[in-house]
C-alpha cells in the first residue's frame, strides 16, 4: 500500500507539477488513511468501499477535526482513487458519490489602508536590514504574491526598469505581476545600497538574504512582519497572507476588475478570488448602515 501511495505522490509531482507543500499534505492525509485501513483489517485499496471512507471520516469528526480538515481529506482520498481507477488498479471508484461537507467561508482578515501605511513605515532605512525589510514589505503589498513566492525571488526575476516581477506560483506556473512606483523605488534602494553589503558571495542569486548572506526563509520573513506589526501597535493577528488579502481587497475597493486581480494573484479559478468581493460588500454594508439616515 505504501508503495502505491509513493507512486501516486510521484505522479502528482511529475505529471501534475504540484508544489512541495501540497504534495506533503496529500502524503500526510493518505498515510493517516492507510493506518486506519490497516487497523480495521483492510490490506488492499481495492477492498475499500464508500462505507469504509465514511467510517474514517466519522473517526476524524469525533476526534474534533475541523470541517476544512475533513474536506481536505476527502479531496486527497478522491484524487487518489481517481488515479487508481484511471490506472485500472481498482475496478470501482468508492469516492464517486462522496460529498464534501459544506464549508463555512470565513472572510479573509485584511488591514485598512491606514494600518498598511503605518506598518510599512516601521523599518529603519538607515541600516541595511531596514532597507531590506522596507523593500520586502513594499513588494509583497504592491504585488500580493505569496510569502513563498517572495522568498523564491531571484535578482533576475525583478525588472525595475520595466516595473514588473516574474514569480513561480503553485504548480510551477509562472506569472508576471506589475510593480508600483513606490515599491520600485524602495526595492531599487535595497538593491543599490543594502543587498551588496549583505551578500557574502557575488554568485548569490536570491533577492532577499538574511544576516549570513543566504536566502531568507519564510519563517524569517514571518518574524520580521510580526516585529513590525507589534511596533506599529496593530492588534490584529497579521500573517504574510494578510498582506496578500489586503492587496486584493484594496484593489477591488478602488475599482479593479475581478479578472485582473485573479491574474495577479495567480488563482486558477476565479471563484477563489471572489471571496474578496464579499469583503468589499461587507464593507459597503457597514458604510451604508453608518451613514444613511434611514439605514
Closest CA to 4 of 79, 80, 78: 80
Hey, what's the cell of 27? 502524503
Active-site residue, 241 included:
yes
How far apart are the C-alpha atoms of 293 and 295, rounded to whole Å? 6
Q: Determine which one of 72, 134, 146, 195 is catalytic.
A: 146
Decide if 292 is catalytic.
no
Active site residue 170: yes
Active site residue 146: yes
- Catalytic annotation, pick one of 72, 195, 245, 267: 267
The single residue of 241, 259, 282, 285 carrying the catalytic annotation is 241
CA distances from 218 to 41, 147, 151, 173, 198 (A): 41, 6, 6, 20, 18
Q: Which of 78, 170, 185, 226 is catalytic?
A: 170
Q: Quick check: is 226 catalytic?
A: no
Q: Which residue is associated with the grid cell 471572489?
A: 274
Nearest to 287 by CA among 253, 251, 245, 257: 253
Active-site hit among 132, 134, 244, 245: 244
> Burial letters for 210-233: b for 16+ Cβ neighbours within 10 Å, e otherwise?
beeeebbeeebbeebbeebbeebe
Q: Indicate if 89 belongs to the active site.
A: no
With 0-12 / 13-18 / 19 or more C-beta atoms within 10 angstroms meaning exposed / middle / buried, residue 268 is exposed
Catalytically active residues, by annotation: 146, 170, 241, 244, 267, 276
Amino acid at each position: 500500500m505504501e508503495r502505491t501511495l509513493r507512486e501516486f505522490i510521484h505522479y502528482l509531482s511529475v505529471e501534475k507539477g504540484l508544489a512541495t507543500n501540497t504534495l506533503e499534505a496529500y502524503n500526510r492525509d493518505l498515510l493517516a488513511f492507510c493506518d486506519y485501513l490497516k487497523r480495521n483489517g483492510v490490506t488492499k485499496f481495492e477492498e475499500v468501499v464508500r462505507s469504509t471512507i465514511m467510517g474514517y471520516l466519522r473517526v476524524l469528526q469525533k476526534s474534533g477535526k475541523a470541517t476544512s480538515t475533513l474536506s481536505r481529506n476527502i479531496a486527497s482520498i478522491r484524487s487518489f482513487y481517481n488515479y487508481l481507477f484511471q490506472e485500472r488498479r481498482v475496478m470501482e471508484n468508492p469516492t464517486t458519490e462522496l460529498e464534501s461537507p459544506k464549508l463555512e467561508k470565513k472572510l479573509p482578515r485584511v488591514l485598512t489602508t491606514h494600518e498598511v501605511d503605518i506598518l510599512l513605515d516601521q523599518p529603519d532605512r538607515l541600516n541595511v536590514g531596514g532597507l531590506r525589510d522596507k523593500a520586502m514589505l513594499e513588494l509583497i503589498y504592491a504585488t500580493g504574491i505569496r510569502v513563498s513566492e517572495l522568498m523564491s525571488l531571484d535578482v533576475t526575476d525583478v525588472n525595475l526598469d520595466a516595473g514588473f516581477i516574474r514569480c513561480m506560483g503553485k504548480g510551477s506556473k509562472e506569472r508576471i505581476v506589475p510593480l508600483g512606483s513606490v515599491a520600485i523605488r524602495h526595492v531599487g534602494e535595497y538593491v543599490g545600497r543594502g543587498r551588496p553589503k549583505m551578500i557574502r558571495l557575488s554568485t548569490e542569486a536570491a533577492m532577499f538574504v538574511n544576516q549570513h548572506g543566504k536566502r531568507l526563509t519564510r519563517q524569517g520573513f514571518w518574524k520580521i512582519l510580526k516585529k513590525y506589526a507589534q511596533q506599529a501597535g496593530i492588534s490584529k493577528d497579521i500573517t504574510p497572507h494578510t498582506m496578500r488579502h489586503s492587496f486584493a481587497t484594496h484593489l477591488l475597493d478602488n475599482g479593479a476588475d475581478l479578472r485582473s486581480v485573479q491574474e495577479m494573484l495567480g488563482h486558477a479559478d476565479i471563484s477563489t478570488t471572489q471571496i474578496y468581493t464579499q469583503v468589499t460588500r461587507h464593507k459597503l454594508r457597514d458604510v451604508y448602515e453608518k451613514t444613511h439616515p434611514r439605514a
